[in-house]
Amino acid sequence: MSTGRSTPMLATCSGRGTDIDVVVKLNGAMDFGVRGAVFELTASMMASRMGIDCPRPFIVRFEPDFVNVVANQYPEKKPVLQRSLGLNFGTEMMKGIVIFGEAMKVTLASVSDALKIFVFDGLTQNPDRSAANPNLYVRGDKLTVIDHECAFSFLTAILKPSKAWTVGPSDFMERHTLKYSLRSGDVDWTECWNALRTLDASFFEEVRDSIPTEWNGAEDVNAIEAHVTAVVSHAAEFEEELRGKLR
């Protein structure tokens, strides 16, 4: 396992006879603690269901003996490691990727992906995909999203939107890293709404089954499902809201 001053941490995990490099988001290092892990896993599953490329999620258990060994090697990490005992969220380390930079343009082949990501971030009210911090990669001909511990800001914001299908008082969609790529041409929203409708009751049952009991995520998942259901029921208003952000 490698570690430095910053988190997340890279761990080599063994399973089914194969070693896999996994980037682990330590519960003890996230602003919302284990709640951030709930947001990460839920958003990752939502993105995948909508056909958005994202790294494969993992749940990584840190045992006391393992934490003690690593803490002895990196004493400065001991407090955050001790707060991360138990199950943590991780994703398979990606290879052959390039950060989506300010100077990059969305290719014709990835316009559909870009629009889905824009809709996804509006749906999850994710403020953390700006030009300064895109959390977005290019992998082959796909746009790949990462890092969703700040998603679902409607659950944590002091000023909450009055309606689920409105973005609310924040300007994060105006700062979205894909905004200018999308506003410069015609885009087809139909595929996005078809993808959005896949986030149905059976999907959220799958999410509940996937979240570890010790994360106590049921209340948040219920609230996220209610939010998504409301947005899907007002898809036309939601589309108009997002179109307004692209003008």
pLDDT value at 80 more than 90:
yes
pTM of the model: 0.93
- Range in 29-33, 154-158, 219-223, 227-231 the model is least confident about: 154-158
**β-strand partners of 62:** 86
pLDDT value at 1 more than 50:
no
Half-sphere CA count of 195, side-chain side, radius 13 A: 22
Choose among 218, 219, 119, 122: nearest CA to 164: 122
pLDDT value at 8 more than 90:
no
Q: Average pLDDT of 13-17?
A: 74
Segment 130-188, tens digit of pLDDT: 988 999 999 888 999 999 999 999 999 887 778 999 987 678 899 999 998 898 667 88
Segment 190-215, tens digit of pLDDT: 999 999 999 999 999 999 999 999 99
Is residue 34 within a helix (H) or strand (E), and if so which, with residue range?
helix 34-49
Choose among 194, 193, 191, 176: nearest CA to 246: 176
62 touches 127 (CB < 8 A): no
Half-sphere CA count of 152, side-chain side, radius 13 A: 26
Q: Identify the pLDDT of residue 185.
A: 65
Q: Identify the pLDDT of residue 98.
A: 93
Q: Identify the pLDDT of residue 177.
A: 94
Q: Domain boundaries in the chain?
A: 9-92, 103-246
Percentage of residues in the chain having pLDDT higher than 90: 73
In DSSP notation, 150-172 reads T--GGGT-SS--SSTTS--S--T
